[in-house]
Each structure stands twice: as C-alpha cells, then as structure tokens.
Chains A and B, each alone.
Chain A
Amino acid sequence: MTVLAVDGLVKHFPIHGGLLQRQVGTVKAVDGVSFAIARGETLGLVGESGCGKSTVGKTILKLIEPTAGRIVLGGEDITALRPGAMWPHRRRIQTIFQDPYSSLNPRLPAGTIVGEPFENFGIAQGRERDDRVAALFQRVGLRADSMRKYAHEFSGGQRQRLGIAKALAVNPDVIVADEPVSALDVSVQAQVLNLLIDLQEEYGLAYLFISHDLAVMRHISHRIAVMYLGRIVELTDKRTLFARPLHPYTEALLSAATAPDPRRRRRKKAIVQGDVPSPARPPPGCHFHTRCPYAVAECKVTSPPLREVAPGHHVACHLR
C-alpha cells in the first residue's frame, strides 16, 4: 500500500547577483523526481553533496514549496496546500535530522520537547501527555526520569533518540530521515539503526532514508534510488543494486566505497575522475556524461529518461 507518492517533483532555486540582486540563474536542485513508498518500506535516497537528496526531503515535508510536480500523502494531494491547510497532514509525515542538537530547544526540558506535538495536535494534555511521553522515552531507549534533563545533558546518540521520540509522538505514517546517523560514532550509530528498524517493524512506518553512506543504505533500505545532479539515475531493490548496478554512476559509487576488509582493497583505481559539476550549470544531455567512462555522442545531447529495464529496475542511461 503506497503511503507516499512523488511524481515529477521539481525544485528550482533562483540565483541572485549583481548590484540590483536580479535573478541571474537557476539552481535546478531537483529536476523531475518520481518514486513511491509503501507502508513498512524504507526507500533509500543516496547521492553525493549537491545531488538534491536533502531538497527532495524538505520539499516532501513542505518545508519549501515545490516548483512543479505532485506529492501525494496517503492518497491526498498535498502539493498545493498552504501552511494552514497542511497542518492536519503534518501528523502523518515527520522528520529526523542529522544534527538533533540544532532541532532541540536548549531552554526546554526534554520531556516538554517530546510532548509538544501532543499539545500542538490536541492529542493529549496534562497527566496523560506526561504518561505518553514517558512511554515514548522508554520505547526509544531513554530513561523516563531523563524527561527533566535539557538537551545539552544528553549524548549525541541520546539526542538522536529524543528526535526519534518527537517524530513518533504523533504516530506518523512516513518519516523522512535526513542523514540521521552521519554525525554519530559507529558504536552509537548501530544502536540508532537497530532502533529505527525495530520501530519500523513495530509500527509499519515508511522511511525515506537520505544518506551518502552506502553501507548504512544497504543495511536499512529495501529499495534504493541513486541521485545525481537533481535526477534519479537508478532505482531498484537493494540486492539488485549492489549485485548488478546498471548506471555507470552507481557503478562508480560502489567501486569508490571502501570496505572494512584489507583483503578486498579496491583492485581498480577510482573509475570516475574530476568533480561533480555545479548544479547551477549542469552539463547538457545526461548530467553524468562529463565523468562517465562510457559516454557516447548522444549522451552529450539528450537527457536519458528513467526507464524500467527489468521488473522494478529503473535506469536513466542511453546505453542500457
């Protein structure tokens, strides 16, 4: 059952310059992205800095307005909803950030922060709210008596647990998790990943899991979408993606990743050279052609559409 569907999502940011701050260009941060996520499923969105993966997340959360495309949450089109009309839908989609510290009010006790959504949505108050907050604390692995502590008194992993508790408070269908474990040490990262998987299985949560870390992606995702300069270049189930990547960029990403095993040192050298082009001036045609070892003349001219080349396996490449 699809809980979130995104169709042809576009987000352009204007670039202002010159003395009069006129618009001098456009960053096509997200340039026609489509996918769907089912209940209980994790869709991983992977890519390097500037590929637009975080902008996809923010647009879906309606923290920024999409330029074009459709966002359908639980069967309802929320694309054009103004903040007021969006409010009741916010219960169904929540977020977890990379740095929980910046999203936790330093002047409020943790229990109050986690309990805010109960008040905001009129779910519970007073004693009942406190009981539910205590239950949430326990569910995410925090001691209930730490409700009186302030954000700075928690460790990085505990703060991420607080962020998760706050997201869970309103019993959402979808959680957008943007690099939720990137700032954590590996021993703590394992705790948070295990918790996220447990919660998903318990509540049937759908995750849009945004990360640059392929190993984390492989662990937590069911399906993975690979983004490059605003577009999805490959989308398939994770087993297929790691066993038979079809897009040259996916291949490059996988070959560039380091494995914690000295006997499996990358035999071949990095297969892509150079840097990612600026999203303000993406190359014409296939955005990847400037770094692609297989590019042909057509790649420089026409942009390849995302096509289904095998059941559930989508690739945007002229050569596949």
Chain B
Amino acid sequence: MPAVSAILEVRDLRTQFDTLDGVVRAVDGVSFDLAPGETLGIVGESGCGKSVTALSILRLIPPETGRIASGSIRFEGEELTTLSEEAMKRLRGHRISMIFQEPMTSLNPVLTVGTQIAENVVRHTGASKRAARERAYEMLDLVRIADARRRLDEYPHQLSGGMRQRVMIAMALSCDPRVLIADEPTTALDVTIQAQILDLMLDLKEKTGTAIVLITHDLGVVAETAQRVVVMYAGRKVEEAPVEVLFDNPLHPYTRGLMRAIPRLDVDAEEGGRRPRLQEIPGLVPMLTRAIVGCAFAARCPLATERCRAEPPPVVDVGSGHTVACWEVAP
C-alpha cells in the first residue's frame, strides 16, 4: 500500500507499561498503513499487543502506568503522538472513532442512548440539541434498530447485547469519522448476532467510506471482513498480506501454526470416523518484561535456528503486498 494514499500511518510504534516485574514492551516496533475506506484486520492471541496498538492510536494509554515510548502515528498527515490532549479530544469520537468488545462498559448507564449519541454530535459538530437528537434518531435507524424513535429514550440496560453494540456503532459513526477502530466488536456476542453486526459494519462501511481497523483474535472474523491483515505476536508484526494471500499462502511459522490449530467448520477433515489431531503450537508466549533479542517466536518455532535466537529477523517483501518477518523466508 503506497504511503502517500494512507489515511493512517503507524511507524515503529513502541508502547510500554511499568509493572512490578519491570517494563512490559506491549508493542515493540509495529508499522502499518491504513488506506481510506479500507478494512484492515489486526489478528493475534492475548497479549500480542493488538489492543494496545489501538489504544496507542487513540492516545488512551493510561499515563500513570504506560507510555508511547517511541515511533510515529500520523493521521491524515498529522502527528498524533505529540498532539495536545485537547486536540486529541476533538479528534476522538469525531475523525477517529472506536467501538469496544463490551458496549456496557462504554455506555453511560444513567443516560438514555439518545442523549449519549446527541451529546457526541453536539460536542463535535456544534449542532443544536434538536438537530443532534434528530441525528441520533437517523443513526439508530441506520444501524437497523427497530422502532428507533422510541429507543432514543431507553437506557442501556433495557437493550440486549446486540442492540447495545448497534448503539455503540451508531454513536461511533454519528460524526462521520474517517477511521473506525473496532476492538473485538463481536467477541461477546452470540453467533447469529455476530453475523448481523458484521453485516451491518460492512454495509455501513460501503455507505460511509469509513476505514476500519478491526482487531480480533478470531481468524474467521478476519477472513469474513478484512481486505488486508496484520498478524501480531509478542508485540511485533510478524506478517502482513491481503486477506486472500494470507489465507492461501501464510509464510510465517506462527501464522501457519495458528491456521492449523483451529478446528475447521467448513472442512470435513475426518478420516475413517477418527477425529484428526489439531496441530499444537508448543510452549508459551514469551515474557514481555525481558527484551527479546532475536525472533520473538523462535522459542516455539519448529524451524528456528541459532540465528533466529540471536538476531531479529528482517522484514521480507515477497510481493503483492505480502511481507513477513522471518529468517526462514529471507533470501
């Protein structure tokens, strides 16, 4: 993806937290671009740094314990890492919006959903209260909440989990953001509701042209929605590719391991009535309190050599927008 066209450019981002065990390098040199109107999936397991990447972009890292240690985040050409908190507040919920896994924790329980959406509209666009309420109605209708007029006056606890997530999406899109960051937006939802929400997000993306960063642990959700995918492991980007390329030809041993580890719904892998073994990835994710000298995956990698443990792998460009950080792939 050519950098000139990117709406969001993340370069060598390092985000760290202070803990009793030492400094945790939660994000350790991550770079990627987001093109306008694109859906980028960021996938990885717990602790890989995918959510911290999202919080860093939004500058929501709690200052008491953490910080963006280095790197650059440019949104429409503007550097966010050095932007004032006031300017960030004007950006958040307006030009860059977000939805999280559990909408109940992001919605105010004592305000009606109509008030909450309208508040955001008033704050960012200076619209009148009446116009903002009308906008709130339009948004609830857009996210296909039945009887939207009446729902404006309901409180979050009166809504189901799926409806709350629709309200979050309505609020996030109420000021026409250029970028929507969605962190595990369907993880807490039942499968039939997940399908509805994913359909909704993709439909709205078509309508509004908002670019989406979709953060998830679920390869199925990524395959279903993303155009391009970044795979993270232990705070680092290990592979990036257009979605078909990644699933057809995963190159990093970790990505390959992940894909073989998941039980498949779409493939009947059974032979002679025997259940096949899933491929395991042995061992555990490394401690992020210690600097990892070589490749972060080396300790669990079946192909690891001495060099993998000693030197960080180069990022190899194998063409068609496919890059991988692995010595095995290096020419």
Interface residues of chain A, those whose CB is within 8 Å of chain B, are 48-49, 155, 185-187, 189-191, 193-194, 197, 212, 214-216, 218-220, 239, 242, 252-266, 269-270, 272-276
Instruction: Point out the residues of chain A lying under 8 angstroms from B112, CB to CB.
Output: none
What 3 A-B pairs are tightest by C-beta distance, nearest first? Answer: A258-B220, A219-B263, A256-B195
Instruction: Point out the residues of chain A lying under 8 angstroms from B262, CB to CB.
Output: 186, 189-190, 215, 260
A239 to B221, CA, bound (A): 24
Instruction: Point out the residues of chain B lying under 8 angstroms from A220, CB to CB.
Output: 263, 275
A256 to B224, CA, bound (A): 11
A265 to B279, CA, bound (A): 24
B266 contacts the other chain (CB 8 A): yes
Query: Is A258 in contact with B218, judged by CB distance below 8 angstroms?
Result: yes
Instruction: Point out the residues of chain B lying under 8 angstroms from A190, CB to CB.
Output: 261-263, 278-281
B61 contacts the other chain (CB 8 A): no
A267 CB → nearest B CB, Å: 11
13 extra interface residue pairs, beta carbon distance < 8 Å, beyond A197-B277, A256-B191, A272-B192:
A186-B261, A189-B262, A190-B280, A215-B262, A219-B275, A220-B275, A257-B195, A258-B218, A259-B264, A260-B262, A262-B226, A270-B195, A274-B146
Query: Is A212 in contact with B278, judged by CB distance below 8 angstroms?
Result: no
The number of chain B residues touching the other chain, given as a range, is 35 or more
B280 CB → nearest A CB, Å: 5
- Candidates A191, A262, A270; contact of B243 at CB < 8 Å: A262
Residue interface bits B22-58, CB-to-A below 8 A is 1, else 0:
0000000000000000000000011000000000000
Query: Is A258 in contact with B281, judged by CB distance below 8 angstroms?
Result: no
Residue interface bits B242-266, CB-to-A below 8 A is 1, else 0:
0110010000000001110111111
- Candidates A239, A260, A274; contact of B264 at CB < 8 Å: A260
B166 CB → nearest A CB, Å: 11
Instruction: Point out the residues of chain A lying under 8 angstroms from B280, CB to CB.
Output: 187, 190-191, 194
Q: A190-B279, A258-B224, A261-B247 are in contact. Are A212 and B190 (CB under 8 A)?
A: yes
A255 to B266, CA, bound (A): 11
Q: In the complex, which of the residues A186, A239, A259 has the most CB atoms of chain B within 10 Å of its own CB atom?
A: A186
A264 to B247, CA, bound (A): 11
Q: A260-B220, A260-B223, A262-B243 are in contact. Are A194 and B45 (CB under 8 A)?
A: no
Query: Is A275 in contact with B220, judged by CB distance below 8 angstroms?
Result: no
Query: Is A187 in contact with B257, judged by CB distance below 8 angstroms?
Result: yes
Query: Is B275 in contact with A187, judged by CB distance below 8 angstroms?
Result: no
Instruction: Point out the residues of chain B lying under 8 angstroms from A264, CB to CB.
Output: 223, 266
B66 contacts the other chain (CB 8 A): no
Instruction: Point out the residues of chain A lying under 8 angstroms from B163, CB to CB.
Output: 275
A193 to B199, CA, bound (A): 31
Query: Is A155 in contact with B284, judged by CB distance below 8 angstroms?
Result: yes
Query: Is A189 in contact with B261, judged by CB distance below 8 angstroms?
Result: yes
A155 to B262, CA, bound (A): 20
Query: Is B199 in contact with A270, judged by CB distance below 8 angstroms?
Result: yes
- Candidates B193, B265, B268; contact of A259 at CB < 8 Å: B265
Tell me the residues in window 201-226 of chain B with beta carbons closer than 8 Å to chain A beta carbons: 217-224, 226
Q: A215-B262, A215-B264, A219-B278 are in contact. Are A266 and B193 (CB under 8 A)?
A: no
Instruction: Point out the residues of chain A lying under 8 angstroms from B264, CB to CB.
Output: 215, 218-219, 259-260
Instruction: Point out the residues of chain A lying under 8 angstroms from B196, CB to CB.
Output: 270, 273
Instruction: Point out the residues of chain B lying under 8 angstroms from A252, CB to CB.
Output: 192
Query: Is B192 in contact with A256, judged by CB distance below 8 angstroms?
Result: yes
B101 contacts the other chain (CB 8 A): no
Q: A194-B278, A215-B265 are in contact. Are A256 and B244 (CB under 8 A)?
A: no
B194 contacts the other chain (CB 8 A): yes
Q: A220-B275, A266-B224 are in contact. Are A186 and B217 (CB under 8 A)?
A: yes
A265 to B225, CA, bound (A): 8
B160 contacts the other chain (CB 8 A): yes
Query: Is A185 in contact with B219, judged by CB distance below 8 angstroms?
Result: no
- Candidates A187, A218, A266; contact of B261 at CB < 8 Å: A187
Residue interface bits B276-289, CB-to-A below 8 A is 1, else 0:
01111100100000
A42 CB → nearest B CB, Å: 9
Query: Is A275 in contact with B162, judged by CB distance below 8 angstroms?
Result: yes
B258 CB → nearest A CB, Å: 6
A253 to B163, CA, bound (A): 19
Query: Is A257 in contact with B223, judged by CB distance below 8 angstroms?
Result: no
Residue of B nearest to A265 (CB): B224
Instruction: Point out the residues of chain A lying under 8 angstroms from B278, CB to CB.
Output: 190, 193-194, 219
A276 to B46, CA, bound (A): 29
Instruction: Point out the residues of chain A lying under 8 angstroms from B279, CB to CB.
Output: 190
14 contacts between A and B (CB under 8 A): A185-B46, A186-B219, A189-B261, A190-B278, A194-B278, A215-B262, A218-B263, A242-B265, A258-B198, A259-B266, A260-B220, A263-B244, A275-B162, A275-B163
Query: Is A187 in contact with B281, judged by CB distance below 8 angstroms?
Result: yes
Q: In the complex, which of the residues B196, B261, B263, B277 has the most CB atoms of chain A within 10 Å of its own CB atom?
A: B263
Q: A189-B261, A216-B263, A260-B264 are in contact. Are A266 and B195 (CB under 8 A)?
A: yes
Instruction: Point out the residues of chain B lying under 8 angstroms from A262, CB to CB.
Output: 223-224, 226, 243-244, 247
Instruction: Point out the residues of chain B lying under 8 angstroms from A239, CB to CB.
Output: 268, 270
Instruction: Point out the residues of chain A lying under 8 angstroms from B268, CB to CB.
Output: 239, 242
Residue of A nearest to B275 (CB): A197
Query: Is A186 in contact with B258, judged by CB distance below 8 angstroms?
Result: yes
Query: Is B192 in contact with A187, judged by CB distance below 8 angstroms?
Result: no
B20 CB → nearest A CB, Å: 14
Instruction: Point out the residues of chain B lying under 8 angstroms from A274, CB to CB.
Output: 146
Query: Is A270 in contact with B192, judged by CB distance below 8 angstroms?
Result: yes
Tell me the residues in window 270-303 of chain B with beta carbons closer than 8 Å to chain A beta carbons: 270, 275, 277-281, 284
Instruction: Point out the residues of chain B lying under 8 angstroms from A189, CB to CB.
Output: 261-262
- Candidates A259, A263, A276; contact of B190 at CB < 8 Å: A276
Instruction: Point out the residues of chain A lying under 8 angstroms from B192, CB to CB.
Output: 48, 252-253, 256, 270, 272, 276
